[in-house]
Amino acid sequence: MGSPALHTQIWEKRQDKACMSSIRLETKNDKRENIGIKGTEADIEKHFYVIKTREPYWLYSRIVFLGEIDRNTTFENMKPLGKTKVNEEYVDDFLLDDSALAIDTNDGIVIITGCSHSGICNIVEQAKRVSKTEKVRMIIAGFHLQSEDPEDEVLMKTKEYLSNEGIGILYPCHCTNLLSKIEIAKVVHIGELGSGTSIEI
């Protein structure tokens, strides 16, 4: 069996923005739709030895789970994406369990993220700090950039940040719209990524 590392909050019940209306919040018996992980902790533990941690965790000598991402930028993840249930109460959900992997290669680090809800710039900074490596060779990621406004603050500041990092290549995937890809491609080399694509890292 493998040993996945998971954030300690990953099992909490979640709602998206569509579930946050006053009508839905007043439903009886708390029957609000849960958009979090289906199944239970026990289901996962039948198949894996699960490591639950908020801290970075080295899975192998060159592969690290980045843990809970420090939120240090002033423009990323500033608005809640829904609600999450903590101690029997629904509170604003900033997806604190959003994380990523960093792979230490001989030519810089490769960062692999999910949706980058914590902010791709925050993730890159955490990856560099944890791996003690400044050079980022590649990022394969959903960037959580979906604005249709080319002057959107998050998009513009993300573009500026990435342009200063000397990153070898980016592979934007889900949660990244065409406008964001076009804008980022003006400052960083972007590769094509889709179902069935093979990437050598």
pLDDT in tens, 24-83: 444 444 455 666 667 777 887 888 888 888 999 999 999 999 999 999 999 998 888 888
Decide if 33 is inside a domain: no
Residue 33's pLDDT is: 65
Decide if 137 is inside a domain: yes
Rounded Cα gap, residues 193 and 141, in angstroms: 10
Rounded Cα gap, residues 174 and 149, in angstroms: 18
Rounded Cα gap, residues 113 and 140, in angstroms: 7
- The model's pTM: 0.82
Burial 77-94 (b: 16+ CB within 10 A, else e): beeebbbbbeeeebeebb
Decide if 172 is inside a domain: yes
For residue 184, the enclosing domain spans 55-201
Decide if 142 is inside a domain: yes
Take residue 52 and report the two structure tokens written for it.
């639950």
Decide if 131 is inside a domain: yes
Decide if 123 is inside a domain: yes
Chain centre to alpha carbon of residue 194: 18
